[in-house]
Chain A
C-alpha cells in the first residue's frame, strides 16, 4: 500500500506553467528522493501528491496521479481522506502552540479515530515510532514549542504517523537543522521506510545519496514539443521553461552512472 503513479502531470499557477509532463513511479515502502536546483518545481510536485496546492488559488493540474490505482484528482475523490493517507512534513517544524500530547493527538482527534479512549496508547505508539518517547514521556503536557528544532521536527513526524498514513511526504525536512540532528532524522527515515512510502525533497545531494532508494532528478527544461501546452499562455516559444523530471533511477546508479548529461553535471557539482 502506498504506491504512487504519476502520468503526464502538468501543473499551472494561474496561467504560468510550473510543471510539464512529469511521469514517475513511486514504489511502496521505499524512499524516493527528488533532487534538483532551486525553483525547478520539486516542492510544487510534492504538494501535488497530497493536493496541498488546492489551498492556493488559481492552481490547476492536467494528467493523472494514482495512489494504489485510484486517481486522487478524480471528481468526487475525498481530499480529507487523501491527506490522511498521504501525510506531510514541512521545511520548518510547524507544531501547534499546544502541548506535546495535543499536537500528536490532533490528527486522531479531528479524524475521530479513537472513540474508546485508546488515544493515549496511540500517542505513545506514534512517539515511539518517531524515536521520541524516551525523550518526552515525562513532558507530554509541556508546550511543544519549547523543544529544540530537531525534536520539534521529529514531533512533526510523530504527529503525521499518528494518523496512520501510507505515504509520508517530506519537503526539505532537515534544512533548518544542524548535521547531527539531520543524521538522526535520516536514521528515522530509514526505519520508517519499513512501514511507509517516503518521498523527500532535498537540496542536499549527500542526503539523497545516503538515505534514498530511488532518486528523481528534476530540472527546468523547455517543454517537450508533444506536451499539451495551455493555449491561453501566449509566452513566446523558447521562454517556456518548466520543471520536469529528466531522469529517475536507483539512487546508486543516478549518482554513479547517470544517463543524462544534465544529471551528471548536477550530481558532480558542475551544474551552473
Chain B
C-alpha cells in the first residue's frame, strides 16, 4: 500500500490538472459568450428592430442599420469562396492525383506556410499591389473595393481549403479508381467523374471551413475594402467600397463610450457574427458526420 501511494497521488494530480485544463477551455469560451451576450443583448432592446436591421449605419445620428454590414460581409465572403473553390479544388487534385512524389513533398509544406502569413501583411500587400491593379483593370473610382477584399480573403481561405479537400480526395478508396480505369476511363475522367464526386462531402467541409476563416477575418479586410457602409445591392457593388461586420467592430470599438447604445450595437454585431460562424461550422461538422456515416472515409 505504502508503495503504491505516491504513484496514486501523481496519477491523481496529473489527471486533475489535465481535467482542469480541458474544462477551462470550455469555460473560457462560455465566459466569452456570456460577456458578449451581456454587452450585446441590450442593443436589441435599445434600438428599434426597424432601425437595427435598417439600411443605414450612422451611429452619430443614432442610425444603427446593420444590414449593409451583414450584406458587406456576405458579399465579400461569397465572392472569396467563388474565387477560392475552383482554385483550391484544382490545386488539391493536382497535389494529390497528378503531381509526382517530389513535387508533392515541396508543395504541401509550402501550402501550409501560406496559412501562416499574418493577415496585416496580406492587407498591406493588397493595399499597395492589388488595389491599384483592381482600379486600373476594372476602372473603379478607387481600388479599395469589395472585390479587392474578396481576392485577399480567397487567398487566405486557400490553404485550409486545399488541405481539407486533399484529405477528402485521399480518403477515396483506390478500388473506385481501379473500377473506372479498368473500364477505359482516362485518368482525368476518373478524377472528375469518380474521385471528386466521391469526395464531395469533404470538399463541402473544406468550403465551409474556408468560409468560417473568411467571414471572421478583420485586419486584411479593413485595409483593402474602403470601409464605406453602403448597401451592396447595385450591380457594380463588387467594385465599390464596402464595410464588413468585423471591420466595423475593429474600427469603432476604440472610440465608443462604454455602455452607450453604440457600444451595445457593436457587441450586437458581434453576436450576429458569432451566430453566423456557429451555423457555418455546424454545417461543416454535419457534412463531415454524413461522410462518416455513408462510409466515405473507408
Contacts and interface: CB of A to CB of B under 8 A. Distances in A.
A107 B184 contact: yes
A159 B194 CA distance: 14
Interface majority SS (helix, strand, loop, mixed), chain A: helix
A94 B176 contact: yes
A98 B179 CA distance: 13
Contact of A83 (B173, B175, B184): B184
A87 B182 contact: yes
B182 A96 contact: no
A96 B194 contact: yes
Interface majority SS (helix, strand, loop, mixed), chain B: helix
A206 B183 CA distance: 29
Given A96-B176, A110-B189, A83 B198 contact: no
A81 B294 CA distance: 33
B62 interface: no
Contacts of A81: 184
A233 interface: no
A96 B184 contact: no
Given A98-B197, A106-B193, A110-B193, A80 B178 contact: no
A133 interface: no
Contacts of B228: none
A83 B194 contact: no
Nearest to A163: B183
Interface in A95-153: 95-98, 106-107, 109-111, 145
A95 B296 contact: no
Nearest to B186: A80
Contact of B181 (A83, A92, A109, A160): A83
B178 to A, nearest CB: 6
Interface residues of A, number: 27
B179 A90 contact: yes
B189 A94 contact: no
Given A96-B194, A145-B295, A110 B183 contact: yes
Given A94-B175, A96-B198, A83 B182 contact: yes
A159 B197 CA distance: 18
A94 B179 CA distance: 7
Contact of A97 (B177, B186, B193, B294): B294
A87 to B, nearest CB: 7
B36 interface: no
Contacts of B272: none
B185 interface: yes
A82 B181 CA distance: 11
A110 B193 CA distance: 9
B180 interface: yes
Interface of B: 173, 175-186, 189, 193-194, 197-198, 294-296
Given A82-B184, A83-B184, 14 more contacts: A52-B181, A88-B182, A90-B182, A96-B179, A96-B180, A96-B194, A97-B294, A106-B185, A106-B193, A107-B184, A110-B183, A145-B295, A156-B179, A163-B183
